[in-house]
């Protein structure tokens, strides 16, 4: 049973652990295991891209569900189901070497990731606002970085003894250990429209134009994120002189991502949310392209920049959703993630197709960086739209 009067530490720990489980294990374990599955199970580059696409399709469907549900109790129930499904879908990956079987379970894992990332994050943010804590998700999103780093370490260490199949089982065993705190330390949601101190929690949605441009920018961010997040281990391993170094680069991404959201929360306090978002997007472009410069130093530098920015950008966007819709944050989170999710379906499949024909992942990285440039321009445009909306809401009187 969930805790009835948890401390802030317990609630934040539940959120962190849930992200390690549903994002780190159910979603990102695939990235360091991809080269191993290619070597030992005969998985091709194109098939690897399609498996990633199926995973993101499940995530997109989960986002659609999250955006369509306003009932906090139902969201809480789906979050808890999703945590169990994250463990089951991870174990199922080791039960067959069929691409069709893998595709089904990567799709299911995507659903579980959406349950944790959107519904779980929405529940955490709602709890923070309701209990008069600062509505920031930096500490919560430490779980993504920890999950990525843990996956990289496990694959690096366990590859000395376990094949690809047994490693999926090892990840599911770790997921089972994380399931308890993810379920028990997150309390059942309060459905009232007031904070713990009795203050109202009014929604203040942005203008339709702001939302359309925001979703387009987030689509671009999805492309910029997913190519490196899915293929970085295979990309680095394929570069001259860097065979076997991909897992190290993935570890550095995870370690850089762990404190990134806390850092960007602090930046946003000083320069504003949109300026901070623009900063994450700009720096991320450099992180995407740096591995192509060649050499381990460039790959590691790119990993630091990418890790510091991709999850920070997501955290800022989802925090903004909570500020616009404090009583139902997962609704806007879901809509934003639909745009992000469509990008994550298209980009891996396109990148895998490019890699098979060109014999290199470089084209996918150039694609991701180019789309991020467009996204940065859209974020800059949002600043002008926001200023216009503020002026319209508070006209000056002669």
- Helices (H) and strands (E) counted in the chain, each on its own, are 14, 0
Task: Give the pLDDT score at 398.
Answer: 42
CA pair distance 344, 329, nearest whole angstrom: 22
Predicted pLDDT at 378: 96
pLDDT of amino acid 46: 82
Q: Which domains does the chain have, with CATH numbers?
A: 8-189+201-392 (1.20.1250.20)
CA dihedral 263, 267, 273, 275 (to 10 degrees): -120
**DSSP state string for 143-187:** HHHHHHHHHHHHHHHHTTT--HHHHHHHHHHHHHHHHHHHHHSSP
Q: How confident is the model at residue 4, as a pLDDT? A: 63
Cα 333 to the center of its chain, rounded Å: 12
CA distance 47 to 394: 54
Give residue 330's pLDDT: 67
Cα–Cα distance, 59 to 55 (Å, whole number): 6
pLDDT at residue number 18: 95
DSSP string, 330-344: HHHHHHHHHHHHHHH
What are the mean pLDDT values of the chain's consecutive 10-residue runs (398 residues total)? 74 93 92 90 85 87 83 91 97 94 96 90 84 74 86 89 95 96 88 58 79 93 86 84 86 86 90 94 94 89 93 86 74 80 81 82 89 95 89 64
H or E element that contains 7: none
pLDDT of residue 103: 96
């Amino acid at each position: 049973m969930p805790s009835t009067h948890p401390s802030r530490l317990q609630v934040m720990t539940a959120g962190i652990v849930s992200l390690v489980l549903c994002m780190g294990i159910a979603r990102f374990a695939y990235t360091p295991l991809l080269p191993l599955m290619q070597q030992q199970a005969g998985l091709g580059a194109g098939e690897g891209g399609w498996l990633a696409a199926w995973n993101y399709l499940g995530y997109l469907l989960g986002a659609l569900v999250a955006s369509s549900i306003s009932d906090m109790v139902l969201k809480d129930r789906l979050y808890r189901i999703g945590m169990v499904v994250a463990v089951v879908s991870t174990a199922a990956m080791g039960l067959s070497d069929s691409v069709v079987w893998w595709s089904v379970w990567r799709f299911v894992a995507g659903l579980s990731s959406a349950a944790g990332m959107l519904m779980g994050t929405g529940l955490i943010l709602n709890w923070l606002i309701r209990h008069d804590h600062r509505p920031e998700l930096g500490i919560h999103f430490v779980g993504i970085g920890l999950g990525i780093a843990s996956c990289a370490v496990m694959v690096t260490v366990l590859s000395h003894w376990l094949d690809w199949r047994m490693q999926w089982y090892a990840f599911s065993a770790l997921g089972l250990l994380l399931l308890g705190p993810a379920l028990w330390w997150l309390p059942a949601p309060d459905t009232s429209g007031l904070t713990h101190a009795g203050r109202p929690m009014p929604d203040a949605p942005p203008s339709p134009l702001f939302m359309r441009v925001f979703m387009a920018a987030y689509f671009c961010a999805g492309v910029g994120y997913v190519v490196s997040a899915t293929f970085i281990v295979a990309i680095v391993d394929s570069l001259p002189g860097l065979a076997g170094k991909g897992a190290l680069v993935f570890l550095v991404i995870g370690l850089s991502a762990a404190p990134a959201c806390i850092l960007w929360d602090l930046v946003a306090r000083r320069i504003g949310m949109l300026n901070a978002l623009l900063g994450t997007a700009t720096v991320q472009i450099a992180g995407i392209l740096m591995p192509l410069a060649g050499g381990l130093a460039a790959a590691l530098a790119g990993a630091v920049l990418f890790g510091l920015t991709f999850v920070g950008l997501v955290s800022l966007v989802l925090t903004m959703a909570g500020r616009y819709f404090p009583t139902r944050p997962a609704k806007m989170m879901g809509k934003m993630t639909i745009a992000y999710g469509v990008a994550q379906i298209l980009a891996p499949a396109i990148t895998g197709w490019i890699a098979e024909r060109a014999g290199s992942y470089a084209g996918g990285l150039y694609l991701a960086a180019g789309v991020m440039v467009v996204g940065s321009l859209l974020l800059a445009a949002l600043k002008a739209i926001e200023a216009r909306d503020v002026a319209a809401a508070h006209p000056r009187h002669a």
